[in-house]
Amino acid sequence: MTESEINNILFANVLSIPILDKQKASKEILSLDKSFSFWDDYRFTQMFPLMTKSGDIGANGASNAKNGEFNWTKMSELTPTIVEWCDNFVFPWIGMRTRIMALVTQPGVANYEHIDCNINELNTLQHKFRIVLQGKTDTLYWLTDKGKVPAPDTEHAFIINGGWPHGMINSGTEPKVTLALGAPWKGNDDYGADIEILQKNNEFKMPKNIDHLWKK
């Protein structure tokens, strides 16, 4: 896989990582006390920090600026299915530990349209690792010059280009639970046959005006 092919990934299945027991994993997340979580105004969703710098919880866990190693937070004792899956499969594939958030979005609620990188990082490699534990992946959508384009529907873990403007509407009847890994990981140099590219950046064009989507 060439550098241009890697940079052209908008949405790709990760085929080489086994799918965990989603029902069990989502039940673990939804059973967590909300005191472990914080409300993210930028994305408009509840976030549970599972792995953070020095194991901090709440909003403090959202920052990667502090010193320290990435550690499981104290609530991870209540999410053994996710811990085992990440330790055994995800981290070896990514090649590092990284911040892990569980996002819980209630039925009928929309995540604000946003971009998962800083403005100066636009058009750089900004891959994010995701798996939807409960709900549908195609409720995620991309903003393009032609309107909203839904992401593919998949059961696999997947990679998205977090540097492309996107949003989500949970049209289901249950909370949508998504496991999200990102910074400081921004992608691998080569994915080989480990992935299946389902959408490419060059298939679409961004809207002309995205200035309002950046985090203030």
> Other C-beta atoms within 10 Å of 154: how many?
19
Question: How much is the pLDDT for 123?
Answer: 85
Q: How far apart, in whole angstroms, are the C-alpha atoms of residue 180 and residue 98?
A: 10
Residue 122 binned pLDDT confidence (cut-offs 50, 70, 90): confident
* 66's tokens: 């502090």
Q: What is the pTM of this model?
A: 0.94
Question: How much is the pLDDT for 63?
Answer: 66
Which tops the pLDDT comparison, 58 or 16? 16
Peptide bond before 184: cis, by omega within 30 degrees of 0? yes
How does pLDDT run across 146-165, given as a tens digit for each residue? 999 999 999 999 999 999 99
Q: How far apart, in whole angstroms, are the C-alpha atoms of residue 177 and residue 26?
A: 6
How does pLDDT run across 30-65, given as a tens digit for each residue? 999 998 899 988 888 999 999 998 776 766 666 666
| Extents of the domains making up the chain | 3-213
Question: How much is the pLDDT for 58?
Answer: 63
* 202's tokens: 């060059």
How does pLDDT run across 193-210, given as a tens digit for each residue? 999 999 999 999 999 988
Q: Tell the CATH topology of 3-213.
A: Jelly Rolls (2.60.120)
